[in-house]
């Protein structure tokens, strides 16, 4: 099957405030590397060109060509830029368009105020060089700084897990909060529409001073760990708000953020398990059986494969899913007569494509009735429940 090609669009989220690149090269390049740096500059330049042309859309392969890097290197570099909040990637619900939102780099004082970013730079270039950069940029003044999309941006933890793990052994959010330096444009201000967020909080009778040092520090810490959307972030603030003290309970906020991030990681882990299972199902049935069955591959097994392929015309994924279902019910064994009954049920109810059959079998394993499928040929009213199927096969 031919791979479907994405188109792309670029959006400058900082109103053209890409002016002084000297601190980018000094602060960001040691972390993301020269290839990601070159890609970032190319994206900024490409956005300016597309803006003058009234934002035409091109195939994503154009970006690979103008940056002279392959798809794998492009994606790796994008994730590095995403982790440092320089790029935000969104994908349209129809999976045909990727939108790259470009953010100006943090000013030096705000960069060093972000302890996660500062400590990562420290691991890359050492204390002496970090202190030298602080001195160099000390006197620089601050710069004032739709289709329905799903946010797929990488987090700092995704790209630099080792650095973050080392930091958590020596620092806490409480120490992070204590050393805020002033800045006119923080991560918090870049990532959210403050008016919209404030409207959400007011409805919950939450009144916060966003410019308060501790609040800024807490919010920037949270956003360094995860790309929160506005709704989830507002919920965290509301749940952490102490109405008696009229302010955030920072310990509660920290626990809330860490719990949220952990749950998201667990969801990702489950998704990876599902992906691995799908990969297993794409093996040939012979290879699948050699890897997963607790029985020798005898003549009956090969007769089963021949019948599934020729009489039922099942593809490899469907055959593997059926064998997996038999193993689930029959203590790790593939029983041909049992599977013929299940296969007859599948054919009788006109389930058609392998993905529908696999979903049906997975629902049976979970003892759940099958949900309405996308394909109109799949007659849901005729779909048997788990108990009905078990009653049927018990007669074998």
Q: What is the pLDDT of residues 139-177, one digit of tens each?
A: 544 433 344 566 667 766 667 767 666 665 554 444 443
Kindly give the interhelix angle for 115-125 and 161-168, rounded to the nearest 10 degrees. Answer: 110
User: What count of Cα atoms within 13 Å lies in the side-chain half-sphere of residue 255?
Assistant: 8
Structure pTM? 0.44
Q: What pLDDT does residue 80 have? A: 92
- Per-chain mean pLDDT for the chain: 74
End-to-end CA distance of the chain, in Å? 39
pLDDT at 74 over 90: yes
User: What count of Cα atoms within 13 Å lies in the side-chain half-sphere of residue 220?
Assistant: 33
Map tokens 């995403």 to a residue. Answer: 82
* All residues at 6 or more sequence positions from 161 whose CB lies less than 8 Å from its CB, including other chains: none
Residues 260-277 have a mean pLDDT of 61
Query: pLDDT digits over 47-65, tens only?
Result: 888 888 888 888 899 899 8
97: DSSP letter: E
Kindly report which listed range (243-252, 258-267, 386-395) carries the lowest average pLDDT score: 386-395
Q: Bigger pLDDT: 362 or 118?
A: 118
Kindly report which listed range (12-26, 134-148, 301-315, 321-335) carries the lowest average pLDDT score: 134-148
How many CB atoms lie under 10 A from the CB of residue 272? 10
Q: What pLDDT does residue 245 have? A: 82
Residues 285-310 have a mean pLDDT of 80
Query: pLDDT digits over 199-240, tens only?
Result: 888 888 888 887 777 887 888 778 777 778 888 888 888 888
> Strand 97-102 to strand 87-92: parallel, antiparallel, or no bridges (unpaired)?
antiparallel
Query: pLDDT digits over 349-392, tens only?
Result: 766 666 777 777 777 766 544 333 333 233 333 334 445 444 54
DSSP 144-176: -----EEE-PPPHHHH-HHHHHHHHTT--HHHH
Nearest C-alpha neighbor of 156 from the set 191, 125, 108: 191
pLDDT at 28 over 90: yes
What's the sign of the alpha-carbon dihedral 148, 200, 268, 79? positive
User: What is the rounded CA–CA span in Å between residue 235 and residue 31?
Assistant: 32
Query: pLDDT digits over 75-115, tens only?
Result: 999 999 998 889 999 988 888 899 999 988 888 888 888 88
């Amino acid at each position: 099957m031919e791979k479907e090609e994405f188109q792309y669009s670029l959006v400058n989220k900082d109103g053209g405030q890409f002016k002084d690149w000297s601190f980018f090269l000094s602060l960001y390049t040691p972390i993301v590397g020269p290839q990601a740096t070159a890609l970032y500059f190319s994206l900024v330049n490409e956005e300016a060109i597309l803006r003058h042309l009234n934002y035409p859309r091109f195939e994503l392969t154009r970006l690979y060509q103008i940056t002279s890097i392959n798809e794998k290197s492009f994606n790796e570099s994008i994730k590095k830029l995403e982790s440092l909040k320089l790029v935000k990637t969104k994908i349209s619900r129809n999976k045909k368009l990727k939108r790259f939102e470009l953010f100006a780099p943090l000013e030096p004082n705000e960069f060093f105020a972000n302890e996660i970013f500062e400590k990562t730079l420290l691991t890359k270039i050492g204390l002496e060089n970090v202190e030298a950069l602080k001195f160099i940029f000390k006197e620089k003044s601050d710069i004032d700084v739709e289709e329905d999309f799903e946010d797929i941006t990488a987090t700092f933890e995704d790209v630099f897990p080792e650095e973050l793990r080392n930091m958590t052994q020596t620092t806490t959010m409480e120490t992070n909060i204590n050393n805020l330096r002033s800045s006119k444009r923080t991560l918090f201000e870049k990532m959210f529409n403050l008016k919209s967020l404030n409207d959400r909080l007011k409805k919950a009778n939450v009144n916060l001073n966003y410019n308060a040092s501790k609040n800024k520090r807490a919010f920037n810490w949270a956003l360094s760990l995860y790309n929160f959307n506005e709704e989830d972030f507002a919920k965290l603030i509301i749940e952490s708000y102490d109405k008696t003290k009229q302010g955030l309970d920072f310990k509660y906020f920290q626990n809330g953020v860490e719990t949220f991030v952990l749950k998201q990681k667990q969801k990702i882990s489950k998704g990876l398990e599902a992906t691995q299972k799908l990969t297993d199902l794409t093996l040939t049935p012979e290879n699948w059986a050699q890897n997963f069955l607790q029985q020798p591959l005898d003549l009956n097994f090969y007769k089963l494969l021949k019948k599934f392929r020729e009489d039922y015309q099942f593809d490899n994924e469907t055959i593997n899913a059926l064998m997996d279902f038999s193993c689930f019910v029959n203590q790790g064994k593939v029983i041909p007569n049992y599977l013929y009954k299940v296969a007859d049920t599948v054919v009788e109810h006109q389930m058609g494509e392998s993905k529908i059959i696999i979903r049906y079998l997975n629902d049976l394993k979970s003892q759940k009735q099958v949900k309405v499928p996308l394909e109109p040929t799949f007659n849901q009213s005729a779909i048997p429940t788990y108990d009905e199927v078990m009653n049927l096969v018990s007669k074998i």
